[in-house]
């Protein structure tokens, strides 16, 4: 069975984890410090990195550090993983959804501008599937209206925007290192930032609000949670980070093959390549009515007849029961809803070969042509 994704791990990763286990220091320690330094060096731009136990925790910590809470609105795309909106609710603020572009799956400045109100305190652009959002105009809006821009780069480690790595600008940018991401720490995330005041706040939020003076005496001056990364994950991350650029290059090579092999078809919408894209996922849109199958049937044929597993990324957030309570309904964001209805994530991970891509493309084409349909 060809999975839709799989982390790339070998003996170097296993030895790094073994070394930590044998050291006896399993929680946050020297490997975390080394990993934060290595991440900062990789991203560039004189930013500092602080790692977390998840990308979700990283997003939440930044919102909390900025004091965003009840009465505040945070603009967020209706098409993303639900964590992008859940952290807003967790802080007591109100998510303000906007639609996305059908091809890039990203928000743009026009959508953000139309959603701004006097209560707008932040916007969370999501670099969907590794494609950078056009950020310049969004930052201009933030300057005009005095709100925070918190970039959700959970799917975009290694992505470039206008020649610079996402995260190098100095504004808060959050990454995820979940096993399905372009590199992994098992679970984990990070914040890139160059603001020392924010840095101190998120350090406290990350670990119980604890502060220590030069003699090591402890004080707690504000609330903090338990969001730290253990050394086991950081040790894995140090090895994965060294391989990240080669992982991303392999992803780009595989995507080029997909784009060459998949046909122009009136039932198929392909994603578009873009400069700096790190290709976390390869998501196509399929018009099920034209094909004559529903999505579950299509997935089952891929699995049973072709030994291919595919994914669904993602249902639109505003139609989940939690977010319907805010008054959102079907029809509010047509592009996000079309993507949610028609999306299919095809296999993409560095250990794949071009022959695997060809296998997937042949299966998709046969289904587009009405072959191998379920009785």
Residues annotated as catalytic are 181
| Among the listed residues 86, 101, 92, the one whose alpha carbon sits nearest the alpha carbon of residue 121 | 92
Q: What is the 3-state secondary structure (H, E, C) of 42-75?
A: HHCCCCEEEEECCHHHHHHHHHHHCCCCCCCEEE
Provide the edge-to-edge strand list for the sheet that holds 343-346. Answer: 268-269, 282-286, 343-346
Q: What is the DSSP letter of 128?
A: G
Q: What is the DSSP letter of 27?
A: S
> How many angstroms separate the CA atoms of 321 and 89, rounded?
13
Q: What angle do CA 219, 222, 226 make, to 5 degrees?
A: 90
Chain centroid offset of residue 19 CA: 29
> How many angstroms separate the CA atoms of 144 and 261, rounded?
45
For 98-104, which contacts have Cβ atoms below 8 Å and span 24 or more sequence positions?
98/333, 99/333, 99/334, 99/335, 99/336, 100/128, 100/333, 100/335, 100/336, 100/339, 101/335, 102/269, 102/285, 102/335, 102/338, 102/339, 103/269, 103/271, 103/272, 104/128, 104/131, 104/271, 104/272, 104/274
């Amino acid at each position: 069975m060809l999975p839709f994704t799989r982390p790339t791990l070998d003996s170097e990763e296993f030895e790094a984890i073994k070394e930590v286990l044998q050291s006896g220091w399993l929680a946050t320690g020297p490997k975390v410090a080394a990993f934060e330094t290595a991440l900062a060096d990789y991203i560039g731009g004189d930013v500092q990195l602080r790692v977390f136990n998840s990308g979700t925790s990283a997003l939440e910590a930044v919102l909390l550090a900025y004091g965003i809470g009840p009465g505040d609105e945070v603009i967020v795309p209706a098409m993303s993983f639900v964590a992008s909106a859940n952290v807003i609710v967790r802080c007591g603020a109100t998510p303000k959804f906007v639609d996305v572009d059908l091809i890039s799956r990203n928000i743009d400045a026009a959508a953000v501008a139309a959603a701004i109100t006097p209560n707008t305190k932040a916007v969370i652009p999501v670099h969907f599937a590794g494609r950078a959002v056009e950020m310049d105009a969004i930052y201009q809006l933030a300057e005009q209206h005095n709100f925070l821009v918190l970039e959700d780069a959970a799917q975009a480690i290694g992505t470039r925007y206008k020649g610079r790595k996402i995260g190098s600008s100095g504004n808060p940018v959050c990454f995820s290192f979940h096993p399905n991401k372009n590199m992994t720490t098992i679970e984990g995330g990070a914040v890139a930032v160059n603001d020392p005041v924010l840095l101190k706040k998120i350090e406290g939020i990350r670990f119980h609000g604890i502060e220590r003076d030069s003699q090591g005496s402890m004080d707690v001056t504000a609330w903090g949670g338990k969001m730290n990364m253990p050394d086991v994950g950081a040790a894995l991350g140090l090895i994965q980070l060294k391989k990240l650029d080669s992982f991303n290059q392999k992803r780009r090579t595989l995507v080029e093959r997909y784009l060459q092999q998949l046909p122009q078809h009136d039932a198929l919408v392909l994603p578009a390549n873009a400069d700096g894209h790190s290709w976390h996922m390869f998501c196509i849109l399929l018009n099920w009515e034209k094909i004559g199958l529903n999505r579950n049937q299509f997935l089952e044929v891929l699995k049973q007849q072709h030994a291919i597993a595919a994914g669904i990324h993602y249902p639109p957030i505003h139609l989940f029961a939690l977010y319907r309570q805010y008054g959102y309904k079907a029809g509010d964001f047509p592009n996000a809803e079309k993507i949610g209805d028609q999306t299919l994530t095809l296999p993409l991970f560095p250990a794949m070969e071009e022959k695997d891509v060809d296998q997937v493309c042949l299966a998709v084409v046969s289904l587009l042509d009405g072959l191998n349909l379920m009785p």
